Amino acid sequence: MVKKEIKINEIKVSLVHHGAEDYISLTYMARHKDTERTNYIIQNWMRTRYTIEFIGLWEKLFNPNFKSIEFDAFRNKQG
């Protein structure tokens, strides 16, 4: 993994390069929205139905050990 930094709207953002992909930390995105309460930004994002659906789809595509039955129970309980 190679780390590099870019500037977006005068904010320094760290990228992690892995294979052919670049990844941006979710914390950096939340910090741009609210520098004092990044944990609340992430917490609220993590409980949306769209996020849960995205995580489930990502796991199905990229995790060969994904347990979809257990995930279905989790997805159905989310608020």
- pLDDT score of 75: 82
Q: How confident is the model at residue 66 (pLDDT cuts 50, 70, 90)?
A: very high
Distance of alpha carbon 15 from the chain centroid: 14
CA distance 57 to 18: 21
Under 8 Å between Cβ of 14 and 5 = yes
- pLDDT score of 16: 85
Domain ranges of the chain: 1-46, 47-79
- Model confidence pLDDT, tens digit, residues 22-65: 888 788 788 878 889 999 999 988 888 888 899 899 999 999 99
pTM, rounded to two decimals: 0.60
Cα angle 35, 10, 25; round to 5? 55
3-state secondary structure of 49: helix
- pLDDT score of 60: 93
